[in-house]
Structures are given as structure tokens and as C-alpha cells.
């Protein structure tokens, strides 16, 4: 199968701190991949590099064969780990933004999902709860027809019912030939929807495996294996 | 409501078991059309790839078959369902016997106890 993401000898240094240490990685289309690691292990740094919010110190990244560029930005739909829409915005402003920026944004799909949640176009972001903001951002991001979705901590800090909504929205909206990279440390909530997991520690990849293989080999959940590998 | 899945065994195997049970117990009837992979995956709250893998596994056993354009159907062969029901029952009984032997029960004791309890259940 053709590789969607390829990282070769990828290293990122912040001053003297090594955030990513010579990472080699390949991701295939059509899969949901969990990027799992403790705080400070390099998950967000890797995702930021894929989205060109920070740049590698050395090494190479290819997205569907293209070096990082405007082209690759158009292929990736990115959910950051923080709110990035202005507080002053109305929902309709956010929709306008996405329509302007992304040619692959399916506005009617987004509006459909928003109306099911009773989020009105005239609602302002300032007045939304944390859970509603998370859902709004996710709906925007998942309404693009991208080749790769990078979701950085999509379920952190929301209640279990909102988590279920977020997970089902991810499942129902990704195209079969797209890949989803989800970073999280809330593994037990998410492991049933993952095809593959990557364990990352101190900027290095400890393990990359299919979830089923991991369960067969260990007779344990991914969550359990994670706790053993990353025992403090 | 998502299907009840445990996290220590491969998910696709648990999906196969659940669908098998649904077919054997008649939740899906002989020859009935199954929902799409996406709908089943969404109902179970699992990845469509995993559901696809489970359905492929069921196709291999013959319990489910695909008609090129029309979709996926439950087998219309009652003998096949009977035989799979028998296999499943046998495997449960094997587990049961293993546990009873761990309790140090003799085969006679096991059989007697089963008969006794079956009578109680009838009354």
C-alpha cells in the first residue's frame, strides 16, 4: 500500500532539549492510528511538524509523496490541542473561515451536524461550554475531505457522553481512504476504534503495532500494555 | 448503545462472536440482509475496518455471504446454523467441564448435579 506519511530520521531540538530523536515512521491510508505517550513525550511536536507549525531540526517528512508545503497543508485537516477560533466569532463566521481557507470543506455536512446538536449559526463562541467548543472544532475539522486528519487530544477535558459523541463523529466522517492520527493519553476510551498504535517516549518510537496483534501477543488491553511500558 | 466489548481480546474476534450469536439466536433471520459495514461499525462503536475484518471472517465460515451489488446476507442454510450452534454449545460445555474438574468433581458427580439442577429449573 502507498504510504501516506513518511518520516525519515526526523529530529527536533528545542535549544538543548531533544523533543524528537531520529524518528522513522510510516503511516498507511485507511487506518485510524493512535499516537500514545505520556506528557512531554513528543506527540504534539510530531503533529505540529506535520502541520508546519514548527520545523524539523533535521530529517525528512513526506505526505503522500510531497515534501511539507502548501500542498501538504491542503491534504491535512488538523485539530489542535487548544481552541484556535476567536472568542468573538459566531458559528457562521467559523464556517465562513473554513469555506474560505479549505476547498475541501463540506459546509452543508458541517451545518447538518451542528443543527443536530442544536448549535445555532448565530451562537457566539465566547458563550459556549468547553465541551461545545470541542465539538464545534471537531465538526469543522471532520467536515473537510482530507487525506490525513491529525487530531491532537480530541477527547481531553470533556465528559464521557461528549467523548462518545466525538468518537462516533470521527468514525462516521472519515473517508475509507483517509488516515486519522489521534494523539491522546486517554487510551481506554479510544482503543476500540484504533487500527494501529504508536507508543512514543522521550521523542523516540517505542512500538508500532496493530491493536489486534498487540492484544493477541499480550492478552491485555492496549491501556494495560501502555501502563506496563510507561510505568513510572 | 455500543456493543459490550472487553479490552483484553482482539476486537474483531469479539465482533465475530457477537454476530454469530445474533444469527444463531435469530436476531438476524435466515437469508436476512445485514446492515452495511459502516452502520454496523457505528452501532458497535468500532472502526469500520475492524467490522470489515469480522464480516470477512464470517464469510469464510459461510454464515454470511455477499451478493455483489445487493449487499451482505445471512446464510439461508439451516443445517449450517445448526452445526455452528452445536460447535458453540460444545465449546461452552468444554469450558464448563474444565472448571468442574478444577473443583475436583468426578464425571458422575458432574452429570448428577446437572440433572438435579435441570429438574429444579423445570419446577
Q: What is the pLDDT of residue A49?
A: 96
d(Cα A18, Cα A22) in Å, to the nearest integer?
Answer: 10
pLDDT exceeds 90 at position A157: no
**Average pLDDT, stretch A104-118?**
93
Q: What is the mean pLDDT of residues A119-142?
A: 92
pLDDT confidence band for B117 (50 / 70 / 90): very high
* Burial annotation B2-17 (CB, 10 A radius, 16+ → b, else e): eeeeebebbbbebbbe
Percent of chain B clearing pLDDT 70 (strictly above) = 98
Q: What CATH number does the domain located at A5-86+147-229 have?
A: 3.40.50.300
The per-residue pLDDT for range A158-186, each reduced to its tens digit, is: 888 888 888 888 988 877 789 999 999 88
44-63 of B, contacting A, C-beta below 8 A: 45-50
Residue of A nearest to B46 (CA): A193
Averaged pLDDT for residues B69-87: 91
Question: Quick one: average pLDDT of B100-107?
Answer: 94
pLDDT band of residue A5 (cuts 50, 70, 90) is very high
Distance CA B42, CA B3 (A): 10
Chain A residues closer than 8 Å to B52 by CB: none
pLDDT at A82 over 90: no
Average pLDDT value for residue range B82-106: 93
- CA distances, B25 to each of A13, A129, A180, B4, B87 (Å): 59, 45, 36, 17, 14
**Mean pLDDT across chain A:** 92
- φ, ψ dihedrals at B68, nearest 5°: -40, -50
Answer yes or no: do B45 and A176 touch at CB < 8 A.
no
pLDDT, tens only, B38-56: 899 988 989 999 999 999 9
Q: State the pLDDT at residue A159.
A: 85
Question: Nearest-5° angle of CA B114, CA B120, CA B123?
Answer: 145
In angstroms, rounded to a whole number, what is the distance separating the alpha carbons of residues A223 and A221?
5
Q: Which of B18, B9, B60, B69 is nearest to B41 (CA)?
A: B18
b/e for B40-58, b at 16 or more Cβ within 10 A?
bbbebbbbbbbbbbbbebb
Domain B11-76 architecture:
Orthogonal Bundle (1.10)
pLDDT higher than 80, residue B7: no
| Mutation target vs A (from B3, B7, B57; most A CBs, 10 A cutoff) | B7
In whole angstroms, what is the distance from residue A139 CA to residue A80 CA?
13
Residue A143 contacts residue A131 (beta carbons within 8 Å):
no
State the average pLDDT over residues A43-70: 95
How far, in Å, are A62, A161, A226 from residue A66 at the CA level?
Answer: 5, 39, 33
3-state helix, strand, coil split of chain B in percent (to 5) is 65, 5, 30
Q: Compare CB distances from B10 to A32, A193, A215 and report the shortest one's residue.
A: A215
Reply yes or no on whether the pLDDT at A119 is more than 80. Answer: yes
pLDDT at B77: 92
- Whether B35 shows a pLDDT value over 80: the answer reads yes
Distance CA B110, CA B66 (A): 44
- What confidence score (pLDDT) does residue A1 get? 54
Report yes or no: A223 at the B interface, CB cutoff 8 Å: yes
User: Given A32, A212, A219, which is nearest B11 (Cβ)?
Assistant: A212
Q: Tell me: pLDDT of B1 over 70.
A: no
Give me the residue spans of the domains in chain A.
5-86+147-229
pLDDT computed for residue A2 by the predictor: 80
Nearest to A168 among B7, B45, B50 (CB): B45
Q: Is the pLDDT of residue A107 over 90?
A: yes
Amino acid at each position: 500500500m502507498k504510504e501516506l506519511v513518511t518520516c525519515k530520521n526526523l529530529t527536533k531540538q528545542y535549544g538543548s532539549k531533544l523533543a524528537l530523536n531520529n524518528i522513522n515512521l510510516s503511516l498507511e491510508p485507511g487506518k485510524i492510528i493512535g499516537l500514545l505517550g505520556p506528557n512531554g513525550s513528543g506527540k504534539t511536536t510530531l503533529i505540529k511538524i506535520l502541520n508546519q507549525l514548527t520545523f524539523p531540526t533535521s530529517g525528512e517528512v513526506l505526505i503522500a509523496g510531497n515534501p511539507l508545503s502548501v500542498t501538504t497543508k491542503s491534504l491535512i485537516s488538523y485539530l489542535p490541542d487548544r481552541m484556535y477560533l476567536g472568542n468573538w466569532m459566531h458559528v457562521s463566521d467559523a464556517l465562513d473561515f473554513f469555506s474560505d481557507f479549505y476547498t475541501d470543506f463540506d459546509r452543508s455536512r458541517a451545518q447538518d451536524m451542528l443543527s443536530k446538536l442544536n448549535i445555532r449559526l448565530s451562537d457566539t463562541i465566547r458563550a459556549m461550554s468547553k465541551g461545545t467548543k470541542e465539538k464545534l472544532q471537531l465538526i469543522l475539522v471532520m467536515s473537510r475531505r482530507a487525506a490525513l486528519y491529525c487530531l491532537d487530544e480530541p477527547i481531553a477535558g470533556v465528559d464521557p457522553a461528549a467523548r462518545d459523541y466525538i468518537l462516533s463523529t470521527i468514525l462516521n466522517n472519515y473517508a475509507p481512504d483517509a488516515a486519522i492520527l489521534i494523539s491522546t493519553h486517554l487510551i481506554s476510551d479510544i482503543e476500540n476504534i484504533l487500527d494501529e498504535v504508536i507508543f512514543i517516549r522521550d521523542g523516540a518510537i517505542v512500538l508500532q503495532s496493530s491493536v489486534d496483534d498487540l492484544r493477541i501477543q499480550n492478552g491485555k488491553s492496549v491501556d494495560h500494555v501502555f501502563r506496563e511500558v510507561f510505568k513510572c | 448503545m455500543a456493543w459490550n466489548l472487553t479490552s483484553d481480546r482482539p476486537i474483531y474476534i469479539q465482533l465475530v462472536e457477537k454476530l454469530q450469536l445474533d444469527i444463531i439466536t435469530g436476531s438476524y433471520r435466515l437469508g436476512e440482509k445485514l446492515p452495511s459495514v459502516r452502520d454496523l461499525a457505528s452501532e458497535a462503536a468500532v472502526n469500520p475496518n475492524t467490522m470489515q475484518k469480522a464480516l470477512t471472517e464470517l464469510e469464510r465460515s459461510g454464515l454470511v455471504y455477499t451478493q455483489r451489488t445487493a449487499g451482505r446476507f445471512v446464510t439461508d442454510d439451516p443445517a449450517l446454523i445448526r452445526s455452528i450452534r452445536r460447535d458453540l454449545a460444545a465449546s461452552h460445555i468444554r469450558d464448563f467441564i474444565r472448571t468442574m474438574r478444577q473443583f475436583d468433581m468426578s464425571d458422575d458427580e458432574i452429570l448428577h448435579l446437572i440433572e438435579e439442577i435441570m429438574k429444579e429449573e423445570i419446577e
